[in-house]
Amino acid sequence: MHGADTDGRVVAAACTIAIDDLPDGLIVADRNGCVVAVNRAAARLTGIAMERAVGRHMTDVFPFRDHDGRDWWKALDPEGGLRTRSRVPERPLHLPGGQELHVTARFIREPERGGEVERVTITLRDGGARARLERSRADLVSTVAHELRSPLTSVKGFTATLLAKWTRFTDEQKRVMLETVNNDADRVTRLITELLDVSRIESGRLEVRRQVVDLPARVRRLIAGRVASGESEHRFRLVVGDHLPEMWLDQDKIDQILGNLVENALRHGRGTVTIEIESVGWGVGVSVRDEGEGIEPELAPRVFRQFWRGGNSRRRGGTGLGLFIVKGLVEAHGGTIAVQRAPEGGAEFRFTVPTGTPDFATP
């Protein structure tokens, strides 16, 4: 037996749940449409406080309308229809002010199968948040399509040309075309890896496999790789503090964090890229800073969003997912990350991760 009492609590069997603890908006009405309870989330979404709603009819306080202007509660008709009807699918509805909410309803019957409707529980979700999520997904699809089209077109074009006219090209021409194909294939692989990371971060399925990591050694290895690929060794400066604690981290993910931050500094900054590692109270702090134009304070909250690209970049390219992924990887370690103006005037990205203990390590 379920019920809603006067202090806004829903009683179910032997447990009592405060409806204000629910993340979604909840309205409870009887079969006649009289409002019985309204939780805090519903009051916030609709602007109607529980005190104003309880005891009044749904159409007076929550006059939901569909896109054709029809009265949702009247169309719901709790007392009509089949007795097997138990729920109404979610759909977008509007309040008089134009606010869009996604609304679904469930009929509570007594007895449960085929009985009369005793109450109707109505769940509300923010339509704006859903629209933003859908726009984000559309942006992701658009970005992926754009980023894949160029390298795949190149791979297809050079491969078809080589197959059709192999004997007409010199060895040097063939090498240049094959190098281009190889580079574009790497670009596609990186994009797919980024998309998988984004998916795992958004779904909360990112796993951290901890092991002892020599963080200064990982940075030196990263710098050596950048130098081998053509960057000047004078472009980098590593500063390591004293008495660093033993660090239990996910080595692959730490490499990815450092790689993305250094790549961002090289792409969007100028001058020396300084990586500083130091011990902090509860873990290790790592700063990556450049000597470029930096990031304006009003832009700082945006840099870790999907598809953000530095407006002052001297080089184009990238999906705008790198810093979003960095933030997700740092937070998966239980750490934090922020961006600010560096002492030299450029951008400084600083992340802090707890050191952890062997107890957290994954075999």
pLDDT tens for 121-144 read 999 988 766 666 677 677 767 767
Instruction: Please write the tens of the pLDDT for every residue from 248-264.
Output: 999 999 999 999 999 98
pLDDT range class, residue 362, cuts 50, 70, 90: very low
The mean pLDDT of 167-176, rounded to a whole number, is 91
CB atoms within 10 A of CB 140: 17
Q: Where in the chain is the domain with CATH 3.30.565.10?
A: 211-354
The structure tokens 């509300």 sit at 124
Q: Where in the chain is the domain with CATH 3.30.450.20?
A: 19-127
Cβ–Cβ < 8 Å for 88, 120: no
The mean pLDDT of 206-210, rounded to a whole number, is 86
Quick one: 211-354 is in which CATH superfamily?
Answer: Histidine kinase-like ATPase, C-terminal domain (3.30.565.10)
The mean pLDDT of 51-57, rounded to a whole number, is 93
Average pLDDT of the chain? 84
In this structure, what is the dihedral angle of CA atoms 15, 17, 23, 27, given to the nearest 10 degrees? 120
Of 83, 81, 62, 82, which is closest to residue 71 (Cα–Cα)?
62
The mean pLDDT of 100-119, rounded to a whole number, is 89
**Fold exhibited by the domain 19-127:** Beta-Lactamase (3.30.450)
**Fold exhibited by the domain 131-203:** Helix Hairpins (1.10.287)
Cβ–Cβ < 8 Å for 31, 120: yes
| Confidence at residue 285, expressed as pLDDT on a 0 to 100 scale | 94
| Confidence at residue 183, expressed as pLDDT on a 0 to 100 scale | 86
Instruction: Please write the tens of the pLDDT for every residue from 181-205.
Output: 998 888 888 788 878 888 788 777 8
Of 88, 90, 89, 86, which is closest to residue 109 (Cα–Cα)?
86
Q: Could you tell me where the beta strands, DSSP code E, fall in the chain?
A: 2-4, 9-12, 15-18, 25-30, 35-38, 87-94, 100-110, 116-126, 211-212, 236-240, 248-249, 273-280, 283-289, 336-341, 347-354
**One-letter identity of residue 75:** A
**Cα distances (angstroms) measured from residue 119 to each of 10, 43, 94, 115, 143:** 12, 19, 22, 12, 46
Residue 6 predicted with pLDDT over 70: no
DSSP 8-state assignment for residue 12: E
CA 358/CA 363 separation, integer angstroms: 10
Q: Where in the chain is the domain with CATH 1.10.287.130?
A: 131-203
**One-letter identity of residue 38:** V
Residue 33: HSE in the Cβ half-sphere, 13 Å Cα cutoff: 17
Cα-Cα end-to-end distance for the chain: 48
| Confidence at residue 53, expressed as pLDDT on a 0 to 100 scale | 92
